[in-house]
Structure formats: structure tokens, C-alpha cells
Amino acid sequence: MAVAQQLARQLAPLVDLIYPPRCPSCGAAVAAQAGLCSECWSTLEVPEHAEVAGHAVPVYAATYYNETSRKLVLAYKHGGRIALAGLLARLMAARLPEPEAGRAPPLLVPVPLHRWRLWSRGFNQAAMLAQAQQKQGKGEAAVAALVRFRRTPNLGRLGREARERVLTGAIRLSPGAAARIRGRDVVLVDDVLTSGATSRACLAAIAAAAPSSIAVACFARVEEDHKHAHR
């Protein structure tokens, strides 16, 4: 790992020469790759509280889902800018509490993708965020703990009740995950929290394994009073 980090530092000037650093939100020149310009930084909105209506567990969100965070998510998830995982994960990690001394580190469990979605996209954006947060010292990534057994349609086009219906039974624990989760603190990791239907399906599967505690961490959270944001 140290050799890889040293090589990355040595190659950074060459990368910057070939691909000048640009803000992933607005395209303005910035000092470092995967960094935001000062203007875009100023437009990110940080939630004051972890509580979310309809959620029985705390939700640690780095930002509200607005125009700037939307651009970052789209660039990361659909634009192939996977290097943004480090930036988004750092912002998420800043909201998570420090692991308690003397306790096993929290398990960072990403929301799973169906295998066909994973194949077409090439990566699970939530899994990469969990792995990046592990590097931030926020827990232990358990990227295969949950499995999406059934392919579901695009939830963005469905209403709340329809989302709940299509997700019923679609997400389960992978073999052996229950023993790993039992008695551990668990943080469910995702990029965007919208209606919460997907996270509730994941949390139900996790809760069946009797964890010590459960929380949700996301980069952006959609709120009713932030209607200018659309997933």
C-alpha cells in the first residue's frame, strides 16, 4: 500500500499535466484532482440533525441533495468519476461518530446492486464508499453482507407504496453474514437517501441478524423542504 501511495504521488504531476484538475461540479480549475472549487463548496448544505421522518434509526448525511451534490453523485455514479469516492467518503466520514474505544469497529455494509446492474455499471458505488470510509478509520467494510436477489425497476419512477412492494424480499443477508453481524454495530452505506424504501429493506435484513446497533450513512439526503433537488 505504501508503495502504491508513493507511486501515485510521483505520478500526480504528470496526471495533472495531461488532465488539468477541474471541479467535478462546475468544471472550474482547481488545485487538486477530485476537489471542489470554493464556490461549489459553499453551496453544499449540511443537515443539522441525523433524524429523518419515517426512519427509526439515525441517518448520518454529508449533505442535502441539491444541485451541487446532484452533479457530484451523477459524475460519480454515471459519469465514471470513481475517483470521487474518496471525496464523498471523506465528507460522509466527517458526520459519523468516532468508533468507541474497546469495541469492535462498526461494520460498514453497502446497499447492494443486483448482479446485472453491477455488471452494466462496472462497480457498486455504495461499496466503494464503504471501502473508502474504512480507510478513514470509520469501520470495517463488509461489502458482500447483503445481496439483492431480485432485479428491481428504477425506483425513481415509482411512488412510495410501489417502491415498498417491489423491494419486499428483494434484499437478503448473504450466507455467513448473520454470524458476522450478530452483536456488532452496523452502518448501512449508500450514496443518496430518497424515500428510504431501499434502506428500510436493507435494515430489515440486517436487523434479523441481531446487531448491537444500526445507523445509516449517505452522501446526500433528499428532504421535502429541499424540493429544488431531484434525483
Residue 19: per-residue pLDDT: 53
Residue 155: per-residue pLDDT: 64
pLDDT in tens, 79-130: 878 889 999 999 999 999 988 888 899 999 999 998 887 888 889 999 999 9
Of 93-107, 144-158, 205-219, the poorest mean pLDDT is in: 144-158
The set of residues, in sequence order, having a beta carbon less than 8 Å from that of 137 and lying 6+ positions away, is 93, 99
> Which of the four pLDDT bands, split at 50, 70 and 90, describes residue 182?
very high
Q: What is the b/e burial string over 107-116, where b = at least 16 CB atoms within 10 angstroms of the residue's CB?
A: bbbbbbbbee
Model pTM score:
0.83
Beta sheet of 185-193, edge-to-edge order: 59-64, 213-221, 185-193, 107-110, 140-141
> Which of the four pLDDT bands, split at 50, 70 and 90, describes residue 11?
very low
Handedness of CA 174, 120, 135, 69 (dihedral sign): negative
Residue 154: per-residue pLDDT: 67
Residue 32: per-residue pLDDT: 60
The domains located in the chain, with CATH, are 1-43 (no CATH), 45-221 (3.40.50)
pLDDT in tens, 157-181: 666 667 767 777 788 999 999 999 9
- Is pLDDT larger for residue 187 or for residue 4? 187
Give the residue-averaged pLDDT of 35-59.
85
